[in-house]
Amino acid sequence: MHCFYRTLGLFSTLLLLSAGCSSSFWATDNELFLRLPGTERRSDQVEGVLRPWERIERIAEKGEEGAKASPEEKKILAFQLIEEYNRSRDPLVRRAAIRSLGKITETTHIEPALETLLSALGEENLGNRIAAAEALGAYGSRIKSGDLTEVRQKILTAFTEAYRAQSFLSDAGSDKENNERKDFRLAILHSAPKLGDSAEMIDFLAEAMNSEPLDDGALRLAAMGAMAKATHRNYGADYELWRDYAAYRQGKRSDPPKEISGLRAALNLNDSAILK
């Protein structure tokens, strides 16, 4: 029995050590060990051919390198990442390329990179769509030049269209699909305010605040939080105040509602006669 536990302990240690190596997997030809997650057949390795996790590591390195590179070097790395994204069918490799493109485009507008990230919003893989939304939010926030305002507008338009396209399904058995759609929409609402305050942003978030069937309130709350970040206004979680503020920005109301106190915001009270 003691021998069994020593063997088990040694085996567990080997697994932990293998997880900490630069390679994410453990190569072996033992049929028993090959049933474990994270293993691959040693004899399947081909010299000179990068395996998926090795490609992911290289792609991540390019993103880190590109974040510190000169504008010309950024463009070269961006085209390499776009090629990696386009030629791979592995969703994890494509996701790594999306994230690295988001890093490389810091302070530098690269139109092909922008188009690749915009197209990734339509990916089938949820994780890749979310990564694209995050990268585009960061991309738009870094475009400071006034003559590139249209870049932020282009991203916001894509966000709006993608958000609308992910409306909930009422069909029976659509719970998993609806959960994925909600997660993607939440990612868009998290990234959108990074594009700054604008009339188009108010229109988008006002639409997202509207309650819809099958929403548990998460989208409305996220939309109110996004409007707070974009406008730097403080109406807490009070939907009516945010609705009135959006109406004011849209020219449907003459004056904005009064902002709530810090105490009321901290208590997250929607309607309190004492704190009004």
Q: Which domains are delineated in the chain?
A: 51-142 (1.25.10.10)
State the pLDDT at residue 105: 81
Give the predicted TM-score (pTM) of the model. Answer: 0.77
State the pLDDT at residue 193: 95
- Amino acid, res. 179: N
Q: 188-216 pLDDT, tens per residue?
A: 999 999 999 999 999 999 999 998 888 99
Contacts by residues 63-71 (CB-CB < 8 Å, ≥ 24 positions apart): 63/96, 63/99, 63/100, 63/101, 63/102, 63/103, 63/104, 64/103, 66/100, 66/103, 66/104, 67/103, 67/104, 67/106, 69/104, 71/108
Q: Which residue has the higher pLDDT, 27 or 80?
A: 80
∠ CA 164-152-259 to the nearest 5 degrees? 75
**Torsional class of 31: left (φ above 0), alpha (ψ -120 to 50), beta (otherwise):** alpha
pLDDT at 29 over 60: no
Q: Contact 43/29 with Cβ under 8 angstroms?
A: yes
**Cα–Cα distance measured from residue 225 to residue 154, given in angstroms and rounded to the nearest whole number:** 22
Res. 23 pLDDT band, cuts 50 70 90: very low
Q: Which residue has the higher pLDDT, 247 or 149?
A: 247
Res. 49 pLDDT band, cuts 50 70 90: low
Q: 51-102 pLDDT, tens per residue?
A: 777 889 999 999 999 888 998 999 999 999 999 999 999 999 999 999 999 9
Q: 111-125 pLDDT, tens per residue?
A: 999 999 999 999 999
Mean pLDDT of the 207-235 span: 94
Res. 38 pLDDT band, cuts 50 70 90: low
**Cα–Cα distance measured from residue 236 to residue 80, given in angstroms and rounded to the nearest whole number:** 44
Average per-residue pLDDT for the chain: 82
Mean pLDDT of the 168-187 span: 94
Q: Contact 229/262 with Cβ under 8 angstroms?
A: no
**Cα–Cα distance measured from residue 146 to residue 210, given in angstroms and rounded to the nearest whole number:** 32
State the pLDDT at residue 108: 80
State the pLDDT at residue 269: 46
State the pLDDT at residue 149: 82
Among 258, 263, 166, which residue's Cα sits nearest to residue 215?
166
Contacts of 158 (CB under 8 A, 6+ apart): 118, 121, 136
